[in-house]
């Protein structure tokens, strides 16, 4: 009996190690980590079908395993009467630069300094070169309006995700900041990360990327002063730093 349990334990641990290894052996180049890629021509990415898009008509891309996991999750949710659609997926450096600079130009005059302007934008938006959306591992589901998830349909969808997303490898990256003393962005009920890929990519990012790499857009001079990598890139929910147990131990 003890021997059998020991054997099963070894098999179990070996499988866990294999799962973990699968996710760290892919080496991503520095340009990938900074979002300096073209999703259309990069064959690591796949285009999202209209069936799973909340923005039909806008081309959106994810790394293939992220997309497959989302499709499985969305199909499972649908069986329980919950609709999950992607409203934002891979966003490269240029796309993030467009979002950031539009906000920068609209807000700069309202603040005394570059730092104050950046901090205001950083409540919900990343500096180009620091967004998890660059990696094709992270996506926004159904709405990016905080109020949407507070009641009715949105609340039901969020409850479903909080209960089930872990089984599919997804984690809500930006939880309530007060819960764990997390730094960085405000809570985002819509932003989910595919951990089997993003944990390894995050490790490669923090190993390879320096503050001096965060450059090439209006206000990039604030990246160092605001310690953007430690405070924002690393400011994620604790539970998003390891694979969910219900993902590891499910029947595949």
Q: By the criterion CB under 5 A, which residues form the site for Zn ion?
A: 140, 191
Neighbours of 49 (CB within 10 A): 12
160 in Cβ contact with 80 (< 8 Å):
yes
The minimum distance between CB 31 and Zn ion, in angstroms, equals 21
- The H or E element containing residue 39 is none
The minimum distance between CB 134 and Zn ion, in angstroms, equals 11
The minimum distance between CB 138 and Zn ion, in angstroms, equals 6
- Phi and psi for 141 in degrees, rounded to 5? -110, 125
Query: In the complex with Zn ion, which residue's Cβ is closer, 135 or 160?
Result: 135
Question: What is the longest distance spanned by two Cα atoms in the chain?
Answer: 72
The minimum distance between CB 12 and Zn ion, in angstroms, equals 34
CA distances in angstroms from 211 to 40, 92, 93, 189, 233, listed in the order given: 28, 18, 15, 28, 11
Please choose, from the candidates 180, 86, 79, the residue with its C-alpha nearest in 3D space to the C-alpha of residue 138.
86
Query: In the complex with Zn ion, which residue's Cβ is closer, 82 or 141?
Result: 141
Query: In the complex with Zn ion, which residue's Cβ is closer, 174 or 247?
Result: 174
Query: In the complex with Zn ion, which residue's Cβ is closer, 41 or 188?
Result: 188
The minimum distance between CB 191 and Zn ion, in angstroms, equals 4
Q: CA 168 to CA 49: how far, in whole Å?
A: 19
Q: Residue 87 in 3-state DSSP?
A: strand
Query: In the complex with Zn ion, which residue's Cβ is closer, 82 or 89?
Result: 89
Neighbours of 5 (CB within 10 A): 9
The minimum distance between CB 62 and Zn ion, in angstroms, equals 12
Query: In the complex with Zn ion, which residue's Cβ is closer, 140 or 157?
Result: 140
Which residue's C-beta sits nearest to Zn ion? Answer: 191
Neighbours of 57 (CB within 10 A): 6
């Amino acid at each position: 009996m003890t021997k059998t349990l020991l054997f099963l334990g070894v098999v179990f641990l070996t499988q866990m190690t294999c799962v973990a290894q699968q996710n760290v052996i892919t080496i991503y180049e520095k340009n990938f980590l900074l979002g300096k890629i073209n999703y259309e021509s990069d064959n690591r990415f796949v285009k999202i079908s209209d069936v799973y898009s909340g923005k039909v008509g806008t081309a959106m891309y994810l790394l293939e395993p992220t997309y497959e996991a989302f499709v499985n999750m969305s199909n499972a949710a649908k069986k329980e009467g919950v609709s999950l659609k992607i409203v934002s997926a891979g966003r490269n450096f240029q796309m993030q630069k467009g979002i950031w600079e539009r906000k920068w130009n609209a807000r700069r005059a309202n603040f005394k300094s570059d730092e104050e302007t950046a901090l205001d934008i950083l409540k919900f938006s990343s500096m180009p070169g620091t967004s998890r959306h660059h990696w094709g591992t992270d996506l926004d589901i159904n709405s990016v309006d905080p109020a949407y998830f507070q009641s009715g349909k949105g609340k039901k969808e969020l409850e479903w995700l909080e209960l089930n997303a872990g089984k599919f490898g997804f984690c809500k990256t930006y939880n309530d900041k007060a819960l764990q003393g997390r730094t960085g962005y405000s809570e985002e009920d819509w932003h989910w990360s595919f951990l089997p890929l993003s944990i390894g990519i995050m490790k490669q990012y923090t190993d390879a990327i320096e503050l001096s790499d965060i450059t090439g857009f209006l206000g990039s001079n604030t990246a160092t002063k605001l310690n953007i990598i430690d405070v924002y890139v690393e400011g994620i929910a604790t539970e998003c730093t390891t694979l969910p147990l219900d993902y590891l131990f499910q029947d595949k």
